[in-house]
Amino acid sequence: MQDSSYDNFLNRPHAKLGRVARVAIVGTGLVGATTAYALLISGAVAEIVLIDRDKKRAEGHTDDLRDAALFSHNAKVLAGDFSDCYGADVTIIAAGVSQSASMKSRLDNLQESASILKDIVGEIACHNPRIVLVASNPVDVLTYAVWKWSGLPASRVMGSGTSLDTSRFRRRLGELYGVAADNVHAYIIGEHGDSQVAVLSSARIAGMPLEDFCREQRLACDESTLKTIVNDTRTAGLEILQAKGATYYGVGAALVRIVGAILRKSTRY
C-alpha cells in the first residue's frame, strides 16, 4: 500500500464507487472456500485470489468457482501466491487448525494454529497488505498476534470477532418473538468464545427496547427465558460441530459483510 493512511485508501475512486478491486483469501479449507463462494455470489468483488500452500487444492477451488460465475456474478477468480496480497484491498486469513467436536474450547488449538499463522503472516507482511482480516480460531488471540507479527498499524489488522455470535443471538431472539432477525438489534461483545457477553440492556426489536416490545406484545421477557437464549448462542458453534463436523456458512457470510463494510464505509449490521 503506497498510502500509510487508511482514510486515504478509502478516498480513492474505486472505494467511492463501491468497487472492490481484489480480495485475497489465504487458506482454502472449508472456511476459506466458503468465503470465496459467498463473495462470488454477493457480487461485491471484482477479483478473488485464493492462496494456499496446497496449490492444487487452490486451483481446484478456482476452477469450481469459475464454473459458478455464469450463474452468479462476473468476477475474476484465480489461484495466486503471497505476492498477490500487495494488490488486494483485503487479505483474509482463514488458515489454521480445524476445530473438532472433542475440543472443550476454541483455545485448545491455539499453539498449533499460532505456529501455522506465524509463518503465513511473515510472508503476507512482506507484501505490505492494505487490510488483514483474521478468521482463524481462536480469532481474538490470533488477531492480536497477527497484528504484532505483521508490524502493521492496528487500524489495518482486524478479526471477525463476535459478528457470527451476534448473528446467532439475533436469530434466536427473532425466532423466540416471531420477528425477522433484520428487525432485531442486539449484540454479543467480548470474546468469540465462552466468555462472550450478550448486551441485553441495549437489545431492541422493531425499534423498541426489548422489555417494552415484550410488554406491548404480552410476550415472556423473564430472566430464565433470556438466559436460555444467551446460553444457546454461546454453545451454538459446538452444537454445529457435533452435528456436521465443522462450521463455515455463518462465518463465510459474516466475512463478506465485514469486507463490504471496510470497502464501502458501510455501517449496516
58-76: string of b/e by CB count within 10 Å (b at 16+)? Answer: bebbbeebeeeeeeeeebe
How many Cα neighbours within 13 Å face the side chain of 30?
Answer: 12
Rounded Cα distance between 50 and 23, Å, is 9
Sequence-separated (6 or more) residues with CB below 8 Å from residue 19: 46
Choosing from 61, 73, 185, 192, the catalytic residue is: 192
Cell (9 digits) for 214: 415484550
| Three-class SS state of 8 | helix
Contact 260, 39 (CB under 8 A): no
Rounded Cα distance between 72 and 239, Å, is 31
Please report how the helices 55-69 and 30-42 are oriented relative to each other, as an axis angle in degrees rounded to 10. 30
Cell (9 digits) for 96: 489454521
Residue corresponding to grid cell 481484489: 22
Contact 66, 1 (CB under 8 A): no
- Among 146, 111, 259, 137, which residue's Cα sits nearest to residue 192? 137
Q: Is 73 a catalytic residue?
A: no
Alpha-carbon Rg of the chain, whole angstroms? 19
List the catalytic residues.
192
